């Protein structure tokens, strides 16, 4: 059994309420927090090895340490609750089932960095989770965990929810900042990084919901307890959103370093209907695909998945069975990225659309062998050339889907139809 840190309260009735959270020790870390100098808190979090759970996996403590200390500008925290990556649905669980754990994490981060205003940027479609979070914020204010002079310590902190408007690109940290400032959600060139010039031109920490939710455990139990879990470089646990052809899709917490397929099978009951495993997409729609053999022999941590040619990303694991079509998967993913490209970089604007059109053609049985090569030729032109990595996010999967499942692409072209599509699915396809 994997230890549960983030999801420990998920099964408790009314876990979203302050009384239930407090009864299980919630907000207990604050007593210790306010006795520690802020720099010591940053060191503590650095030592824990906690890495960002929004996708990039960057050290949380390290990021906080980049925020200038000798500035007379206000500093801000932006909590990234935009959660738009297809297949990712774990932050929603936290907001809905245990919002106080995240709020406690927000207090820890803000105290450590010297922040007095935190914005929670919530995905526009997350109306219910946002309501839950607002109710929790209201409870925290009423009990003196937020607001002026928190728990008589002299530390002030306001937390404000900002609803997004349904754009995936606003999950990218600088797109989020632009959107929060009331502008079009288009990413900024980096550097400067938000830690130095972020929202309203001020130093800003951007952290994912789950990253912040790990902080109460780290403060309560000590960084050593957290660092002991997982592997040397991938410490602790992570929430994985598992979807696709599995018996029980859902959000499961796993300790880093376990075998990837064992974890999926143990958590979800394995491939739906006892079918054969075809492939696993381990880190969201932007990650490269792993074959069944690779998924069985790879370990679930940042380094092992990277060594297998993919990434942990936001922890969105998608499983394909022998009856699922890889070409269709590419068509769906490419259509998503073409739709969500913000359009400011030509390579992304045109490239995502180009790949999506070709993938659709092949899936519909109207593609040629040359079309497959066209996708492969386009991928390198999209890598590392744009303001953010949205273009890379289609290039990486597209290249890997074709390279690892070339025969499926060829079969679509030769047979002039999708071999996985039944008659009724054929008429339902877009």
Ligand X SMILES: Cc1cc2nc3c(=O)[nH]c(=O)nc-3n(C[C@H](O)[C@H](O)[C@H](O)COP(=O)(O)O)c2cc1C
Q: Nearest distance from residue 168's CB to ligand X, in Å?
A: 6
Scan residues 211-230 and list those touching ligand X (CB under 6 A): 211
Given candidates 101, 206, 292, 330, which one binds ligand X under the rule CB under 6 A?
206
What span, in angstroms and rounded, lies between the C-alpha atoms of 259 and 255? 10
Residue 214 structure tokens: 């790990």
Closest-CA residue to 140 (of 164, 160, 126): 160
- To ligand X, the closest distance from the beta carbon of 165 in angstroms equals 14
When the beta carbons of 137 and 238 are compared against ligand X, the nearer one is 238
- 139, 172, 324, 363: residue in contact with ligand X (rule CB under 6 A): 172
Secondary structure of the chain as H, E, C letters: CCCCCCCCCCCCCCCCCHHHHHHCCCCCHHHHHCCCCHHHHHHHHHHHCCECCCCCCCEHHHHHHCCCCCCCCCCEEEEEECCCCCCCCHHHHHHHHCHHHHHHHHHHHHHHHCCCEEEEEECCCCHHHHHHHHHHHHHHHHCCCCECCHHHCCCCEEEEEEECCCCHHHHCHHHHHHHHCCCCCCCCCCCCCCCCCCHHHCCEEEEEHHHHHCHHHHHHHCHHHHHCCECCCCECEEEEEEEECECCCEEEEEECCEEHHHHHHHHHCCEHHHCCEEEEECCCCCCCCEEHHHHHHCEECHHHHHHCCCCCCCCEEEEEECCCCHHHHHHHHHHHHHHHCCCCCHHHHHHHHHHHHHHHHHHCCCCCHHHHHHHHHHHHHHCCCCCCCCCHHHHHHHHHHHHHCHHHHHHHHHHCCCCCCCHHHHHHCC
Contact region with ligand X (CB under 6 A), list: 67-75, 129-137, 205-213, 247-255: 205-213
Chain residues 111-170 in contact with ligand X, contact rule CB under 6 A: 168-169
Kindly tell me which of 167 and 418 has the beta carbon lying closer to ligand X: 167
Map the footprint of ligand X across residues 249-308, applying CB under 6 A. none
Considering the complex, state which of residue 190 and residue 425 has its C-beta at the smaller distance from ligand X.
190
Q: Does 16 engage in binding with ligand X (CB under 6 A)?
A: no
Residue 18 or 218: which CB sits closer to ligand X? 218
Instruction: Count the site residues for ligand X by CB under 6 A.
Output: 23
**Residues 29, 179, 186, 208: which binds ligand X (CB under 6 A)?**
208
In the complex with ligand X, the residue whose CB is nearer, 168 or 302, is 168
Residue among 8, 20, 36, 56 that touches ligand X (CB under 6 A): 56
Position 388 contacts ligand X (CB under 6 A): yes
Interacting residue with ligand X among 58, 184, 200, 232 (CB under 6 A): 58
Q: Binding to ligand X by residue 398, rule CB under 6 A?
A: no
Cα gap 277→271, rounded to integer Å? 6
* CB-nearer residue toward ligand X: 118 or 206: 206
Interacting residues with ligand X between 315 and 334 (CB under 6 A):
none
Examine residue 356 and tell whether it contacts ligand X (CB under 6 A).
Answer: no
Interface residue with ligand X among 55, 282, 284, 351 (CB under 6 A) is 55
CB atoms within 10 A of CB 181: 12
What is the chain's length? 430
Does 341 contact ligand X by CB under 6 A?
Answer: no
Beta carbon of residue 82, minimum distance to ligand X (angstroms, whole number): 4
CA–CA distance, 309 with 397 (Å, rounded to integer)? 11
Contact 286, 171 (CB under 8 A): no
Q: How far is the CB of 25 from ligand X (least distance, A)?
A: 24
The verdict on 53 binding ligand X (CB under 6 A) reads yes
Complex with ligand X: residue 18 or 345, whichever CB lies closer: 345
Query: Which range of residues in 18-26, 202-210, 228-236, 373-381 is near ligand X by CB under 6 A?
Result: 202-210
Site for ligand X, residues 70 to 89, rule: CB under 6 A: 80, 82-85
Asked if 394 is part of the footprint of ligand X (rule: CB under 6 A), the reply reads: no
- Judged by beta carbon, residue 229 or residue 388, the one nearer ligand X is 388
66 binds ligand X (CB under 6 A): no
Min separation Cβ 123 and ligand X, Å: 7
274 backbone φψ class: left, alpha, beta (φ>0; ψ -120 to 50): left
If the CB atoms of residues 179 and 298 are measured against ligand X, the closer one turns out to be: 179
Q: How far apart are CA 150 and CA 128, in angstroms?
A: 28
Min dist. Cβ of residue 153 to ligand X (A): 25
Would you count residue 171 as binding ligand X (CB under 6 A)?
A: yes
**Which residues would be at the binding site for ligand X (CB under 6 A)?**
52-56, 58, 80, 82-85, 168-169, 171-173, 206-208, 211, 388-390
């Amino acid at each position: 059994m994997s230890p549960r840190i983030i999801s420990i309260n998920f099964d408790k009735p009314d876990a979203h309420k302050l009384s239930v959270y407090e009864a299980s020790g919630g907000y207990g870390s604050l007593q210790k927090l306010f006795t520690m100098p802020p720099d010591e808190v940053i060191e503590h979090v650095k030592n824990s090895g906690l890495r960002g759970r929004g996708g990039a996996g960057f050290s949380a403590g390290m990021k906080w340490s980049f925020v200038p200390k000798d500035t007379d500008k206000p500093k801000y925290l932006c909590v990234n609750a935009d959660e738009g990556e297809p297949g990712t649905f774990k932050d929603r669980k936290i907001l809905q089932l245990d919002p106080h754990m995240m709020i406690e994490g927000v207090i820890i981060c803000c105290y450590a960095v010297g922040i007095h205003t935190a914005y929670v940027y919530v995905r526009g479609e997350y109306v219910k989770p946002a309501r839950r979070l607002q109710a929790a914020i209201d409870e925290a204010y009423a009990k003196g965990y937020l607001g002026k002079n928190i728990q008589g310590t002299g530390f002030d902190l306001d937390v404000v929810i900002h609803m997004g408007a349904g754009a995936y690109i606003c999950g990218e940290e600088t797109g989020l900042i632009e959107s929060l400032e009331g502008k079009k959600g288009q990413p900024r060139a980096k550097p400067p990084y938000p830690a130095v010039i972020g929202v309203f031109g001020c130093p800003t920490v951007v952290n994912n919901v789950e990253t912040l939710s790990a902080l109460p455990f780290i403060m309560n139990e000590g960084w050593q307890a957290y660092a002991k879990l997982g592997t040397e470089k991938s410490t602790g646990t992570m929430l994985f959103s598992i979807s696709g052809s599995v018996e029980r899709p859902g959000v499961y917490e796993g300790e880093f370093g376990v075998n990837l397929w064992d974890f999926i099978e143990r958590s979800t009951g394995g491939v739906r209907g006892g079918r054969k495993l075809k492939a696993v997409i381990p880190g969201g729609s932007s990650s490269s695909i792993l074959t069944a053999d690779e998924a069985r022999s790879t370990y679930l941590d940042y380094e092992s998945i990277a060594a297998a040619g993919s990434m942990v990303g936001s922890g969105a694991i998608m499983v394909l069975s022998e009856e699922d079509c890889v070409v269709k998967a590419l068509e769906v993913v490419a259509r998503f990225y073409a739709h969500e490209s913000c359009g400011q970089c030509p390579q992304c604007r045109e490239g995502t659309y180009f790949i999506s059109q070709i993938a659709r053609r092949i899936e519909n049985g109207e593609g040629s062998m040359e079309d497959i090569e066209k996708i492969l030729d386009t991928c390198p032109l999209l890598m590392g050339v744009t303001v953010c990595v949205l273009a890379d996010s289609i290039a990486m999967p597209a290249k890997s889907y074709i390279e690892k499942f070339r025969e499926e692409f060829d079969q679509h072209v030769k047979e002039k139809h999708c071999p996985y599509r039944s008659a009724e699915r054929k008429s339902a396809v877009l």
